[in-house]
A and B are shown apart, each in its own frame.
Chain A
């Protein structure tokens, strides 16, 4: 037994007490989430990810005692940028580098031609979490195709994946050979096979395309889906206004002009369209452990991709490198082409904070199908156009997310930063 020095013992005890108090001020209770978060930090640190959360919280001791939810760390894989994807429209004239495309006339019809490939790849769905995906042109969601009503969309499709794939469009398609299902036309395309799909772009609206190989659940939820936007033709609207409204009353000249104006604002070939900030969002989800339920939800693949990088829970936040809000100009009209590719769940939804919007189901009408709502729901493959006006809001963060809390906390949680 060494002799006890009471002074030293008291010192040590005091130091230990202080250390204990310090350690307890941060987290009053260690929840599973914080433990997992800690593991995530450790994991991301191990793979060389800087966690903005970790660095920010180490600066000040007054960490929010309730903890903050959200995925820890930033995205490392920069192959896909959900912020770029928002406004990446492939029209044949212009579009993404990974989508070879051209536009030309044929028999008096505008042809928009795209080259699509299906490949097996790996995508990042949450910081540090990878998912083995099947992807059109290597991206999930697939490239957004944009055409004008009456155009011919020609997709030269080659399957480079291990499995047989197709492209099935949600368009009014008059030729069963072009439906992209196993039972029609070329059927499923095995590895290395090609086929050229041709579809007339109709009706005007926002539409959906996906692989229709079996098993369907696997082929969709692995990432083979995307958006086809068909812009209304203002001249055709002028001639057939009734086709664009769900309204039995008289069509006055004013109303007709109003519809034509709306069509011009929707049509990317008109100057009126430039005044609108248009974004494409595909609500999707990922089952990482094969249990038939999703572990990750997102708009455009990346959990919290449009979230804030870091917040202290007291109104101060910083944008992260890869996780950052969508900046929007308050004076521009905001239009979201929204579709739902979520597998395993019956419905998904879109909810805006402090805000009401107009919703055009399937985007096939020029007058809203839901006026002044703040939440809409979509089943799989349902889609629509959301028009939002932030012109009278103060600048700052406005949240939007799925109003299934589970989905929101698993990644489908986003912000507009109104400036």
Chain B
């Protein structure tokens, strides 16, 4: 519909002339606001006259989610609950292992009733046993029940500098150091022919592609535990597309700058930073996983785990530096910045995961990471094409496959 010529459609009709003038000669802003004003009016009439009051097809079902549990001491169990339903719910009783038990509700305004979308903590004084599963059931005022099993409980670590220090050290080993080591391949990558450099770039794209799937599945898995009202799966979709489009918009803006003759924006450094940000987001999620395992007391900090993560993350180093292998070498400052952006979020994620863990935050971070990574893959493909390479050459496809494969193999070493 780009042309302005009369278009004869198949039914013989003709398109109407375009209206240039506003109806009744009103100013433009009126026609912009009018539908909104009318909508408000209709809503008001609907709310006050309740024309559907006679239509009654039963009650909406109550929907309560136990998002997660914390065990601050060996005689306390805390359930974090959210009311997802459209109606208030009252938590009248709590069962622990099929026995009615003491409890108090905190954070619901002093009573046991949760308004829609309201969250609260249910504090249960119960002498639990490390490693012995515990079944907890909420009984609402209408007798509806919501059950949750705390598998192999263990005490939640409280806030302590020691824990933060431990997580920082772990983050250093599984995030920063491997990425830095991987970046040491830079001088070698610089000496490569175009063909092989492109292969390395596609290898990096394969690594990132694997991470996108890895984090994506993880995000949808976590989304299962997000209270229904927050639409976990759609939140993940939104996070993926949001990040993808946001980073892509920045990228498009950069292209505009290049066209306008900004030399800095045309360098590979830009892409290197994008890759670092994508990997950084992924590593933030990795840190969240480690931190939350800590919070849930599920971490076996064997050397094996750390080694697995290191092998897994060392491949991210060349991915970061490959885009700057052509043209002049960036200053060391940039290398340091790239390494920190890509690796250090493991530490930050660890802290967030151990202190303020919630499935919603976790899934959203993972989704943002997926979106960012997908955009980076797109960017890498363009970079190869701009440099005169063929993205889908045999070497490049195999390199991409190798990236996927090596991530799969090293992923087997990482069992959280």
Contacts and interface: CB of A to CB of B under 8 A. Distances in A.
A217 B99 contact: yes
Interface in B128-174: 129, 132-135
14 contacts: A132-B129, A162-B127, A163-B129, A214-B99, A215-B96, A215-B101, A216-B99, A217-B97, A217-B98, A289-B133, A290-B132, A290-B133, A292-B98, A292-B135
Contacts of B97: 215, 217-218, 292
A118 interface: no
A217 B101 CA distance: 13
Given A215-B101, A290-B132, 17 more contacts: A132-B132, A162-B127, A163-B127, A215-B96, A215-B97, A215-B99, A216-B99, A217-B97, A217-B99, A218-B97, A290-B133, A290-B134, A290-B135, A291-B133, A292-B97, A292-B98, A292-B135
A218 B129 CA distance: 11
Nearest to A163: B127
A38 B98 CA distance: 36
Contacts of A214: 99
Given A290-B132, A292-B135, A164 B127 contact: yes
Nearest to A289: B133
Interface of A: 132, 162-164, 214-218, 289-292
A210 to B, nearest CB: 16
Nearest to B74: A162
Contacts of A291: 133
Nearest to A120: B129
Nearest to B102: A214
Nearest to B96: A215
Interface SS of chain B:
loop
Contacts, number: 26
Most buried by B among A132, A163, A214, A290: A290
Interface residues of B, number: 11
Contacts of A163: 127, 129
Contacts of A217: 97-99
B386 to A, nearest CB: 51
A217 B96 CA distance: 11
A216 B132 CA distance: 16
Nearest to B149: A290
Top 6 A-B pairs, shortest CB-CB distance: A290-B133, A215-B99, A163-B127, A215-B97, A290-B132, A217-B97
Interface string B90-120: 0000001111010000000000000000000
A290 B134 CA distance: 7
Nearest to A291: B133
Contacts of B99: 214-217
Contacts of B101: 215
A150 B133 CA distance: 44
Contacts of A215: 96-97, 99, 101
A163 to B, nearest CB: 6
Interface centre among B99, B129, B135 (most CB of A within 10 A): B129
A74 B99 CA distance: 37
B258 to A, nearest CB: 61
A216 B135 CA distance: 15
Nearest to A164: B127
A411 B96 CA distance: 29
B416 to A, nearest CB: 22
Nearest to B133: A290
A220 to B, nearest CB: 12
A163 B132 CA distance: 14
Contacts of A218: 97
Interface in B349-400: none
B243 to A, nearest CB: 40
Nearest to A213: B127
A105 B111 CA distance: 59
Nearest to B131: A132
Contacts of B133: 289-291
A69 B266 CA distance: 75
A120 B14 CA distance: 89
A11 B101 CA distance: 73
A113 B176 CA distance: 67
Most B C-beta atoms less than 10 A away, residue of A162, A215, A292:
A215
